[in-house]
Amino acid sequence: MATMSPLASISANRMPSRELTVVDIKKLVGSRRKVDVMDALTQDSSSMSLGQWSKYYETFPRKRILNIISLEFSCTKLDPMVEAPQMVCCERLLDILKSQFPLLQLRFFLVHA
């Protein structure tokens, strides 16, 4: 029986092409989508549109380094191109179980302890 690599269980089933650019993401998610960014030097955070960040990203030389903290893209054209790793999906299911069925969680713990 073949054993599966531990990394295989956390790999994503769907990922966008490696050729996907910031401009492509802006088009798929929407240029008006607000993103939280952080200045890498000062650690100051601010908010800007994905269109503004895309323009910053395409400008050289850059006066400062801005990192996007996170990008919410569910319910956009990018969403069907990406699938969360199995491990994340399992964690979400466990979170739902914990928040919605706390007694079931306690029973599961007692049975499997």
Query: 26 lies in a domain?
Result: yes
- Let me know whether 33 and 69 are in one domain: yes
Query: 1 lies in a domain?
Result: no
**Each residue of 51-105: pLDDT tens digit?**
999 999 999 999 999 999 999 888 899 988 887 666 655 666 666 656 666 665 5
Residue 31 to residues 11, 15, 34: CA-CA distances in angstroms?
A: 29, 21, 8
- Let me know whether 76 and 87 are in one domain: no
Q: Hey, which bits of 3-108 come out as E strands?
A: 34-39, 45-49, 66-70
Task: Compare 2 and 51 and report the one with higher pLDDT.
Answer: 51
Number of domains in the chain: 2
0.85 surpassed by pTM:
no
- Let me know whether 87 and 70 are in one domain: no
- Let me know whether 41 and 72 are in one domain: yes
The closest alpha carbon to 22, from 6, 62, 96, belongs to 62
- Let me know whether 35 and 69 are in one domain: yes
Query: 14 lies in a domain?
Result: no
Question: Which residues are bridge partners to 35 per DSSP?
Answer: 48
**What is the residue type of 27?**
K
